[in-house]
Chains A and B, each alone.
Chain A
């Protein structure tokens, strides 16, 4: 399973390096979202401003939207030229395919989050403190988001309405992750990262649960896609 995961992750990342879709479309989209929120909620004037207070939530909404694009892209390459059939015929362990695709998307998102956090700090005028907690929340929340995204990505892969189906299925499922990550970031940026430990545990629980469901369910879902 891990061998297959490594193989699929390498293939997906190689495709992204060649096509530069993540760099040329997903990342600019996320930055535009951050900028648009900045324009809509007004110029930041210190820690009391609406924009500053909403910064954690806006960061995670931008990550959520970028996740949808990244997952859609991950499955678009499988839909082209019957590659999904090729994936089924390959004999790869479906659990390995799930983990590989999730790892590739997670890797791209974590890099994006690094730059997005810097942009949020700059545009929304929020000093990033408790970096270890912020990083831990990024890792656990991203794993949960990506696991759920890849699971629903394969469901929507064969559907005609896949562009709208994925967000429709995905957003309600990951609402707890959005809530937990936002609360944790809020506590960390407020200088009380210890108060967010419960949220970090929640994010970890969702990450483990969605990964476990994905490992078990991805194979049957790939067959139906």
Chain B
């Protein structure tokens, strides 16, 4: 399998502040990678860079075959980012939010019903404006968007935050199913045991660089990608 993400000496800035300071990482297609690190390590910046939201200042960055130095737009339709924000419209209903995101991404609208049902958002809840939902329910709506869109690359930033126990278990199951369907998943999480349990590899970040990498229990070297620290 080829590389879904290939970053070499990647530098990204916010103004003059370095977000990523020469980060190198390779993630194979179909792999699940758990990003670890303290606050400010660069986990969210790495996910945003892979989503084409953050410019690459130097180094090389190729995601799903798209060179992010020359074209950050083409990759966006193929990735699904679950960030700190939910990217939702408060005044639209749950169903309208999911339908808008799916139609905007030119995904199959036929997947919406299944996604709502999967995340427990069918029934009366589908008609409720997102503004009236709890944080956990809003998270479920954002996840429903990803499930309905079926992106090739899932970028999950603290995906367990706000979810109850059932929601967390459901999320873990979604990651397993995404991997089984051939999608690549990169998740940044402080839920160390839970995230590692569904991952092939753990990558440690600090100061905008990869500082450690290890295979998760039960995974075999050669089946997964590599990191260049």
Contacts and interface: CB of A to CB of B under 8 A. Distances in A.
B103 interface: yes
Interface of A: 4, 7, 11, 14-15, 18-19, 77, 80-83, 85-86, 88-92
Interface stretch (B82-90, B172-180, B190-198, B217-225): B82-90
A117 to B, nearest CB: 29
Interface residues of B, number: 26
Nearest to A82: B85
Given A82-B85, A82-B87, 8 more contacts: A11-B96, A81-B85, A81-B88, A83-B89, A85-B85, A90-B76, A90-B101, A91-B73
Given A81-B85, A89-B87, A18 B92 contact: yes
A15 B91 contact: yes
Contact of A86 (B77, B87, B91, B129): B87
B105 interface: yes
B227 to A, nearest CB: 26
Given A4-B104, A90-B101, A85 B89 contact: no
Contacts, number: 68
B210 interface: no
Nearest to A10: B100
Given A81-B85, A85-B53, A91 B91 contact: no
A88 B53 contact: yes
B92 A86 contact: no
Contacts of B76: 88-91
B104 A7 contact: yes
B85 A18 contact: no
Given A4-B104, A11-B100, A83 B53 contact: no
30 contacts: A4-B104, A7-B100, A11-B89, A11-B96, A18-B92, A77-B89, A77-B90, A77-B91, A81-B85, A81-B86, A81-B88, A81-B90, A82-B83, A82-B84, A82-B87, A83-B87, A83-B88, A83-B89, A86-B85, A86-B88, A86-B101, A89-B52, A89-B76, A89-B87, A90-B104, A90-B105, A91-B73, A91-B76, A91-B77, A91-B106
